[in-house]
A and B are shown apart, each in its own frame.
Chain A
Amino acid sequence: MHEMSLVQGLFEQLKSLAAENNATRIVKVTMEIGPLCGVVVDSFQFGFEILSAQEPMFKETELVIEVPEVTYTCTSCSQEQVTAGERPDQCGNCGEFLLTTRGGDDLLLKQVEME
Chain B
Amino acid sequence: MCDSCGCPSPSDNHDHSHDHDGHSHSHAHNHEHGHDHNHSHDTATKTVDVRTSLFAANNAMAQANRDHFDQIGAVALNLISSPGSGKTTLLEHTIMALKDEMKIGVIEGDPETDRDAQRIRAKGVPVVQLTTGGACHLDAAMTHKGFHLLEKEPGYAGVDLLFIENVGNLVCPATFALGEHERIVLVSVPEGPDKPAKYPKTFGTAQTFLITKTDLLPYFDFPLEEARSEALKANPSLKIMELSATTGAGFDAWLDYLRDLVRTKKGEKAA
Q: Could you tell me which A residues sit within 8 Å of B by CB distance? A: 1-2, 5-6, 8-10, 12-13, 15-19, 21-24, 27, 36-39, 75, 87, 97-101, 106-115
A-B contacts besides A109-B53, A114-B48, A115-B41, 19 pairs, CB < 8 Å: A2-B136, A2-B175, A5-B24, A8-B25, A9-B25, A9-B54, A9-B57, A16-B28, A19-B30, A23-B41, A36-B204, A39-B175, A107-B53, A109-B52, A111-B50, A113-B45, A114-B45, A114-B47, A115-B44
Q: Which 5 A-B residue pairings sit nearest by Cβ, starting from the closest?
A: A38-B175, A2-B172, A16-B28, A98-B236, A15-B31
Closest Cβ neighbor of B54 among chain A residues = A107
* Bound CA–CA A24/B171 (angstroms): 36
**In chain B, residues 12-51, which have Cβ atoms closer than 8 Å to a Cβ of chain A?**
24-28, 30-31, 34, 37-38, 40-41, 43-51
The reply to whether A12 and B45 form a contact with Cβ atoms under 8 Å apart is: no
The answer to whether B46 and A115 have CB atoms under 8 Å apart is: yes
Complex CA gap A6/B54 in Å reads 7
Could you say which residues of chain A place their CB within 8 Å of the CB of B37? Answer: 22
Contacts of A87 in B (CB 8 A): 200, 233-234
Q: Which of B24, B34, B49, B136 contacts A18 (CB 8 A)?
A: B34
Cβ 8 A contact of A16, one of B31, B176, B232, B234: B31
B236: contacting residue among A5, A8, A75, A112, CB under 8 A:
A75
CB < 8 Å neighbour of A38 from B38, B41, B201? B201
B253 at the interface (CB under 8 A from A): no
Given the contacts A16-B31, A38-B201, A110 and B51 also touching, CB distance less than 8 Å? yes
Q: Total contacts A to B, CB within 8 angstroms?
A: 116
Contact A22 B50 (CB under 8 A): no
A108 to chain B, nearest CB (A): 6
Residue of B nearest to A90 (CB): B233
B219 at interface by CB-CB < 8 Å:
no
B174 at the interface (CB under 8 A from A): yes
Residues of B within 8 A of A113 (CB): 45-48
Measured CA separation A27–B204 after assembly (Å): 36
Question: Is the CB–CB distance between B54 and A97 below 8 Å?
Answer: no
Cβ contacts under 8 Å, B31 to chain A: 15-16, 18-19
A75 to B172, CA, bound (A): 28
Taking a contact as CB atoms closer than 8 A, the residue among A9, A75, A106 that contacts B24 in the complex is: A9
CA distance A65 to B83 in the complex (A): 32
Q: How far is the CB of A95 from chain B (nearest CB, A)?
A: 13
Contact residues, B196-233 vs A (CB, 8 A): 200-201, 204, 229, 232-233
Whether the Cβ atoms of B171 and A23 lie closer than 8 Å is no
Minimum CB–CB distance from A18 to chain B (whole Å) comes to 7
Determine the residue in chain A with the shortest Cβ distance to B58.
A9
Closest to B45 in A: A115
Give complex CA distance A106, B54 in Å. Answer: 8
Closest CB-CB distance, A54 to chain B, in whole Å? 15
B96 contacts A by Cβ under 8 Å: no
CA distance A115 to B44 in the complex (A): 6
Closest to A98 in B: B236
Which chain A residues lie closer than 8 Å to B54 at the CB level? Answer: 6, 9-10, 13, 107-109
Q: What residue in chain A is nearest B176 (Cβ atoms)?
A: A2
Please determine whether B229 and A111 come into contact, CB atoms closer than 8 angstroms: no
Q: Does B135 contact A (CB under 8 A)?
A: yes
